[in-house]
Amino acid sequence: MSTVNRSVLDERASFAPPSPTATASSAPPVARVNSIDVVRGVVLILMAIDHVRVYSGVPAGGPDPGVFFTRWITHFVAPAFAFLAGTSAFFHGRKLGDTRALSRFLATRGLLLVVLELTLIRFTWTFNLDYAHFMLAGVIWMLGWCMVVLAGLVRFTPRTVGITGLAIVFLQQVFRFIPRVLPETARNAIGPVWEFIYPAGLPRFSWIAILYVLVPWIGVMAAGYGFGLILLRDEASRRRLCLRIGLSATALFLVVGGAIALFAPAGPEAPPALFRLLAQQKYPASQLFLLMTLGPTIALLPVAERARGWVGTALATFGRVPMAYYLMHIPTIHLAALAVMYLRFGTVSSSWYASAPFASVPDDKHWSLGLLYLIFAVVVVALYFPCRWYARVKADPARKAKWMSYV
């Protein structure tokens, strides 16, 4: 592992939190946290599985175990993205040495992500310019607005931000009832905006599909920001705390979720108890969904910190350029799907993907799981080389441009 990739957490253990007025020059030098890059690389690869699935026509789950777990394993992506984005913001703030500069960076980058979601990313999903009939508030939209909100929260201490994030996650259902204290006319007036925050059964804008709302995801990102304090500890302490937090969250999910799956009434057509346990609500993400996904993610960090060899290098490479990977992987998968469809059937209809990721591939054109995973592997290998080049450019002070901090 190169010195650029190697974890420097031990060196950070003695850092004192920077004051809000500290200058960038007075801040201690901060290198990347390798374990964050490795875990983020894992979830980026998992994300490609789900997006190949979108274009293959394979359904998002179902009674078939192969299809069910193909979808289930990708549930770890959004929680890890949001949580580690908060942790990365924590360390970026330490690098800047000024919370006001961090706030400006988060607000600017967040708004950039929102614009990209509504323009370039939406185009690469669909390959059409029919923006008037279909728009998507997807994961990048959500991450962007969460960064904008986090830009205001970082004026408080990381501990306060982290506790606030946990409170939002575990009390998220309160946001459903807040509009109900208003008169009906006021509720209907704020409904289209409030539905971007949390579903409350209010009127929505008809021109945009809301896939990810802000709550509880802003809580996940804020919790990740506070989690940065744990990664400043010495190796033994942070390893112990990561395992304790991650395994406790996983155990709580298994106990509560398992009790519900085993003892809640289930009809004769209900799936097996294991499937009911793992099929937690993602939209919006329930507390059990987040415990199920973030628990193992946090517990994996001490393992990722020791990642070595070509596998660790490849994962860290992807993890160092997550936004560039995201911008490249959707059009790559889309083009691969068009090629596969044409080679298999001699035709492909653009209407199948006109509202991707809500694709409508005819039943007789669905791929097998074997083909899905083959194309997934080809796409990941193809993306590695431009990601490696871009990661090297970003790591080279002589070649890195200021705009690269945003992509």
Mean model confidence pLDDT for the chain: 91
User: For residue 388, what pLDDT is reported?
Assistant: 97
Q: Would you say how long the chain is, in residues?
A: 407
How confident is the model at residue 115, as a pLDDT?
97
Q: Evaluate if residue 269 carries a pLDDT over 90.
A: no
54 closest CA partner among 330, 328, 358:
358
- The pTM of the full predicted model, rounded to 2 decimals, is 0.91
Delimit the domains of the chain by residue range: 9-172+215-406
Give me the residues paired with residue 210 across strands. 137
Q: Which amino acid is at 354?
A: A
pLDDT digits (tens, 9 = 90+) for 170-201: 999 999 999 989 998 899 899 999 999 999 99
User: What amino acid occupies position 281?
Assistant: Q
Summarised one tens digit per residue, pLDDT across range 128-156 is 999 988 999 999 999 999 999 999 999 99
Cα dihedral 50, 56, 57, 61 sign: negative
The tokens for 164 are: 């606030």
What pLDDT, on the 0 to 100 scale, is given for residue 30? 53
N-term to C-term CA, the chain: 24
* Residue of 86, 37, 103 whose CA lies nearest to 224: 86
Q: What is the mean pLDDT of residues 260-284?
A: 92
Distance of CA 338 to the CA centre of its chain: 26
Residues with Cβ < 8 Å from 63, sequence gap 6 or more? 271, 275
Q: Is the pLDDT of residue 279 over 80?
A: yes
Residue 395 CA to residue 317 CA, distance in Å, equals 11
Helix (H, G, I), strand (E, B) or coil at 209: strand
Instruction: Record the tokens describing residue 100, joined without a space.
Output: 């006001």
